[in-house]
Structure 1
Amino acid sequence: MRLFFLSAPATNTAECPDPTRSAQRKRVLWLSCTAHALHDGYTDMIYALLPTWQADFGLGYGALALLRGIYAGTMATLQVPAGSLARLLGTRATLAIGTLLAALGYALAGMSGSLLGLCVALTVSGCGSSTQHPLASGSVSRAYGRNARAPLSVYNFAGDLGKSALPAAVSLLINFMPWRHALWAMSAIGILVALVIALFLPSVRGIESSAEATASEATQGSQSGFSLLFAIGVLDTAVRMGLLTFLPFLLRSKGISPQMMGTALALVFIGGAAGKFACGALGARVGVIGTVFTTEGATAVLILAVIWLPLAPAMILLPLLGVMLNGTSSVLYGTVPELTPAGRTERAFALFYTGTIASGALAPVAYGLVGDRIGVHGATIATAATALVIFPLALALRRHLSTT
């Protein structure tokens, strides 16, 4: 971690005319959003395919969990190397190649005839998807400089759109064609996106204004500040994934019907998507620390309210709970560049995303063990307590930020 905070050598960047620079920034943002939607959609598309693979290959639940774990684990562990590769090949080439690999992985899955074949295919796709988070978010950050918070929230929101659209699309296609053909169709979309990125993603350093470049080069970053931000991100993800693990059981204890369970979860996810979009912009206006205090405090209160309220009022609170659960993440992502030295933005995002993805995988296991000992209500209260643990970390982070 210490090497990460060594300052990078200064580089000169040419200043473009304002209209050209603005147009190129927008192109960076929308292509990054497209990449985020595609890759996050590919990641969650596995959930829609697991029942089909179980029936077609006769897989047990352990094998199905292995498939999901291979993709997520490969994607998480290779994000830092992806940032290093981008310094050699360039962001545009690396992101385009990664997107192509992610698409080809699903094409290979459509050709596979065994569990081993699926494992290899998902490993290839996971390798490709490892490039997206550090490089696309780093590109948006570099393009917008000190004004990157709101664009990063839009980028963050785009990932949720992909998580909703692509699994639904593949599920629909499977109703009209063999699942292998459906995967080839989804792979074709990824190949097209890779081609668009290769042809049209601008060179980010070429569109930074000289003032922003100078400010960026003067920033040395803060090792302790980034460590605090990293810890907050890990705990925030743990709260979110832990609660989502227990929420169905909590609602079932209140007498919710199986038909309404899907509606309840959809309310949370809709609120979560809105929270990513809204709280990023809110953080740019009222400050990081104030927003974190608001979202995490409200998360703890709403979790306790959902535990103790009857079903009907609890259902009403679910969209707001989703807003608060996901809202913090956009503010945190937008703060990464502020605590990062020049030339290390992609690496910072890679480290940050690796930590949050790992937290998302491990937190349900940890809370599950707690739930085995003290029950569903006790484990859910533990997620609320975890949200409150973020408060002192946020206070400590305040002194590392230029604005709060």
Structure 2
Amino acid sequence: MPPSTAAQPSPSAASRSRVLWVSCAAHALHDGYTDMIYVLLPTWQADFGLSYGALAMLRGLYAGTMASLQLTAGRLAHRLGSRATLALGTLLAAAGYAAAGASGSLLGLCAALALSGAGSSTQHPLASGAVSRVYGREARGPLGIYNFSGDLGKAALPAAVSLLITLMPWRHALWVMAALGCIAAAAIALLLPAIPQKQAAAEAPASEGHRGAGTGFALLFTIGVLDTAVRMGLLTFLPFLLQAKGASTPMVGTALALVFAGGAAGKFLCGWLGARMGVVGTVLATEGGTAALTVAVMFTPLAPTLVLLPLLGLMLNGTSSVLYGTVPELSHPDKTERAFALFYTGTIGSGAVAPVLYGFLGDGIGVQGATFATALTALAIFPLAMALRSRLQAA
């Protein structure tokens, strides 16, 4: 029987805090699971004799399964509850990595990664929806923390598995990481408070009147898709731009680390900045900054470019926290998980498709021209953001 959807009392401060930190831990684990694949690809290539195309298929299977099942995860949560669905999804993601460690063929490895991706599809819509529900109008800042926690997982788990595979066979390393996921699933089941399916009237976001929600959400969705395309497209070409300036391979790695460090700071800071500057003002600032810094990085010498990269990372990633924090304001209070599922489906899908499209563009007009196209894409968000302003005022 579906959980009750009656309005419930406002959660206590302690309950809110527990929802936030359990959701952050889930985000860190699942995003870490997603990016562990990059570390494992060379090992799998050597062990299974895979081509680069097969390696790309492995990564695409995980991301594609995760993206395609976001809406299904939201629907399942309405039947089982967010806590049970998120715990089961985490257990399934861990089971997928355990199965990958036991696989003896490419087909088995593909099935295992698809299984893990299916489990990870529960995390984004349900954890972000949980934070949104318990914080109500004050959710923007906590959602920024939640967004930032994913970057911590992306840094920690790939580093951990890369260390483990120097100490033990890669299959055993995956079983260790799967055990971590099982522990996390148990913690979610035991520690995550029950999430109300409807917010109390006093805590519901201002979108409860539903005015402008449909068109406003469509604008927000489009901005999110384009913002992700800009980020993934630019990161595709940045190593080649740096090499053209004379950067060595180790220096390119350092430069990318500077971008990612700035990006993590941007996710943390811009969620709070959006609550003070407003959504549209922050989006205009970050997208305008992205465009300007992209052009600057194209034409400055190597040393100044390295100085600019952390700020470029902040601008590239900062918009996402503001956008995620706005999703509940433009969705029906009882359909928050579905709104997040739609939004994440679009942004994850954009992250998969955009590098391919920009890559074809780079083949046609060169790296410089394709990089400039990413800056123009960032500027194309301006009129969408201005149109969103009126929808936010109407919501």
Whether the 8 Å contact between 2:93 and 2:116 is mirrored in structure 1 is yes
**2:294 is the counterpart of 1:294:** no
Distance 1:315 1:363, change over 3 A: same
SS in 2 for 1:344: helix
Match of 2:191 in 1: 200
Tell me the alpha carbon deviations over residues 2-55 of structure 1, each in whole angstroms, 9 at most, x when there is no partner.
xxxxxxx98331346xxxx00000000000000000000000000000111111
Match of 2:111 among 115, 120, 142: 120
Distance 1:75 1:396, change over 3 A: same
The range that moved more, 368-377 or 327-336, is 368-377
**2:372 is the counterpart of 1:377:** no
Whether the 8 Å contact between 1:92 and 1:203 is mirrored in structure 2 is yes
The range that moved more, 221-230 or 388-397, is 221-230
Percent identity of paired positions between Structure 1 and Structure 2: 71
Distance 1:213 1:300, change over 3 A: closer
**2:36 is the counterpart of 1:45:** yes
Moved segments of 4+, more than 4 Å: 206-210, 213-221
Letter in 1 for 2:306: M
Match of 1:225 among 188, 203, 216: 216
**2:248 is the counterpart of 1:257:** yes
Letter in 2 for 1:38: L
Match of 1:273 in 2: 264
**2:7 is the counterpart of 1:12:** yes
Distance 1:324 1:115, change over 3 A: same
Give the Å deviation of 1:204: 2.0
The equivalences for 1:1-400 within 5 A come to 11-15=6-10, 21-205=12-196, 211-213=202-204, 217-219=208-210, 222-400=213-391
SS in 2 for 1:204: coil
Specify every segment of 5 or more residues in structure 1 that has no aligned partner in the other structure, as ranges. 1-8
Give the Å deviation of 1:402: 3.6
Structure 1 CA distance, aligned partners of 2:58 and 2:361?
A: 26
Specify every segment of 5 or more residues in structure 2 that has no aligned partner in the other structure, as ranges. none
Structure 2 CA distance, aligned partners of 1:120 and 1:220?
A: 44
Tell me the alpha carbon deviations over residues 123-172 of structure 1, each in whole angstroms, 9 at most, x when there is no partner.
11000000000000000000100100000000000000000000000000
Structure 1 CA distance, aligned partners of 2:197 and 2:349?
A: 34
Letter in 2 for 1:389: A
Tell me the alpha carbon deviations over residues 189-241 of structure 1, each in whole angstroms, 9 at most, x when there is no partner.
00000001111111122895551149675446611100000000000000000
| TM norm structure 1 | 0.94
Give the Å deviation of 1:82: 0.5
SS in 2 for 1:400: helix
Structure 2 CA distance, aligned partners of 1:321 and 1:192?
A: 37
Letter in 2 for 1:321: L
The range that moved more, 218-227 or 241-250, is 218-227
Tell me the alpha carbon deviations over residues 93-136 of structure 1, each in whole angstroms, 9 at most, x when there is no partner.
00000000000000000000110010010011000000000000
Whether the 8 Å contact between 2:70 and 2:342 is mirrored in structure 1 is yes
Letter in 1 for 2:373: A
Tell me the alpha carbon deviations over residues 303-335 of structure 1, each in whole angstroms, 9 at most, x when there is no partner.
000000011101100000000000000000000
How many residues are aligned here? Answer: 392
* Coordinate RMSD, CA, aligned: 1.7
Letter in 2 for 1:249: F
Letter in 2 for 1:325: L
Letter in 2 for 1:64: L
Whether the 8 Å contact between 1:78 and 1:127 is mirrored in structure 2 is yes
SS in 1 for 2:391: coil
Distance 1:259 1:139, change over 3 A: same
Whether the 8 Å contact between 2:6 and 2:197 is mirrored in structure 1 is no
Structure 2 CA distance, aligned partners of 1:151 and 1:106?
A: 30
